[in-house]
Structure 1
């Protein structure tokens, strides 16, 4: 890590936009150790076989029809940074801050904030299903990443068996592939929601309804993934979930502050609230009933239905 180079990259931020994304990449990588990616062919194959097992189990038990990305990427932290900066840049491409006073200073502040955020996430993300929102690729573009240094570190810190922990993470990420694959409308819906939020911010306003729609959709996405993960995983997982939840809630004061600033507390709430909703649906009916949410956009639970599964079931005619 080279913190001087990280700061220098931010100070030298340039360009016409509100964020210098090349400087974000340079600064974030300078502040982040890439981690070990010296894997044997058997270790790489273990990731592939875990993903295939998750796909087969989810198709069978969940009754969902979906495909996986052609390539399963086992990454170190710098690889993850590069992939996700591309995503952030696409999503925020149309953001116009409208700031005319000291634009260079504002650009440096924005660039530094993004670099700090992405560096923190790169050190903590374990796996990621990326639907490549707003990608110029008009085909069925999507990607699946595993950040090997983080998976190894967290398994060690939690004192859990690495192969079982890695397989559990694989099941979670493949559940997201199942959601987006079985609901072709979902990526477009999220893109529309994100574009509305960016338009709001560019206009200097905060539209609670637009933000709420993103939150409700992501609560459904995360909650269903938790349900499917629990119902399809082919090993014991109670200790893994308990220890990972303790990790999400723990950390030193700086880590807790970063989680707060990045809204990770809200993300944890999405996991918990969504899981409670889908558990209630599956317990009252079955997994196939829970999967009705992905048949069409109108089947997404509303904000109030997320706290009242019976209300959603009644609307679905169940």
Structure 2
């Protein structure tokens, strides 16, 4: 039994996604070639500054268009949702076949529509969850850049294309270094996501309650409220897990923003102009765009960048980059949500306390 009709999600997303900016064949070839080259250049800059040892050997980024990003993310979602799919299959007899079949198709269309919206906005990402490679030779993660979105954004901002492309690569390369250099981090995020999914209430009555809550969230977001689907469909247990997940993702996103701006002045001459214009763009958009961002929790992600970067800046100012890197020692040294907002609490707990035992592996 499928939770989501993945083929339908892909076909819906690819059908609905808007085409990218108009570029000549030569411009497209140049953009792809330069992004691959700059992704390799960014690795050296990030490694030298971030001082996280043990990262995997770098590979040039995978460059995709908008439909390619949709397909890649569906592959990742299938891996992430596998534990929930297995549980649903174990409980197949409790769910009428027609409900399962119709539900998976409805959800497939919904996921496809969301991915079509996001596929026009995402510049790049480090894909944590890839389908397993039977040979065991493929990397467990992949740095992916969405070329048409990068070209479209640099045009909208009116910034130097080479500088902007390297700036984006610095952020995404930081994530590759984080998740391959900190040996336990990927598995920690995966286990928290699995725990979140398996904390779902799957009985029909509860699912109907969640659907009503989701409808209320949509109505609230349209009216300009703070409602979002993430909050609406959670159980109390899931809220606790999500707090931990949000804290670690706020850390890694903020660290990515901090590194891209800290490295920037030496290798991206126009970094101050890029940051200023990009920040203004993050905060803009039509009313429809803002409603969707709020509903999907994207505004929460924007807040993560700011709060996480402020945490990193404060700790680095207090203890230097090596002191900050104590954060990667083990899950016990990760900041909580409250500590991200008040870095002094993390500094007191971790930096001014006896050294906590590290997780297996090293940083």
Structure 2: runs of 5 or more not aligned: 207-234, 353-363
- The whole-number CA distance in structure 2 between the counterparts of 1:32 and 1:111 is 15
TM-score where L is the length of structure 2: 0.77
Q: Deviations over 1:238-276 (max 9, x none)?
A: 221222222222111221122112110111111111111
Q: Where does residue 215 of structure 2 map in the other structure?
A: none
Structure 1: runs of 5 or more not aligned: 1-15
> 1:154 aligned to 2:153?
yes
Q: 1:103 to 1:165 in 2, by over 3 A?
A: same
Q: CA RMSD in A?
A: 2.2
Equivalent residues in 2 for 1:1-318, closer than 5 Å: 16-35=1-20, 38=25, 42-65=30-53, 66-95=55-84, 96=88, 100=96, 102-132=99-129, 135-137=131-133, 140-203=139-202, 205-207=235-237, 208-233=239-264, 234-235=267-268, 236-318=270-352
Three-state SS of the structure 2 residue aligned to 1:64 is: coil
Q: 1:291 to 1:78 in 2, by over 3 A?
A: same
Three-state SS of the structure 2 residue aligned to 1:129 is: strand
Range moving further from structure 2, 45-54 or 29-38: 29-38
- The whole-number CA distance in structure 2 between the counterparts of 1:297 and 1:171 is 25
Q: CA deviation at 1:222?
A: 0.8
TM-score where L is the length of structure 1: 0.87
Three-state SS of the structure 2 residue aligned to 1:144 is: strand
Q: 1:37 to 1:114 in 2, by over 3 A?
A: farther
Q: Deviations over 1:30-70 (max 9, x none)?
A: 11245369456654332233122211112212222223553
- The question of whether the paired residues in 2 share the 8 Å contact of 1:281 and 1:309 is answered with yes
The count of residues paired between Structure 1 and Structure 2 equals 302
- The whole-number CA distance in structure 2 between the counterparts of 1:79 and 1:167 is 21
- The whole-number CA distance in structure 2 between the counterparts of 1:170 and 1:193 is 27
- The question of whether the paired residues in 1 share the 8 Å contact of 2:36 and 2:60 is answered with no
Three-state SS of the structure 2 residue aligned to 1:109 is: helix
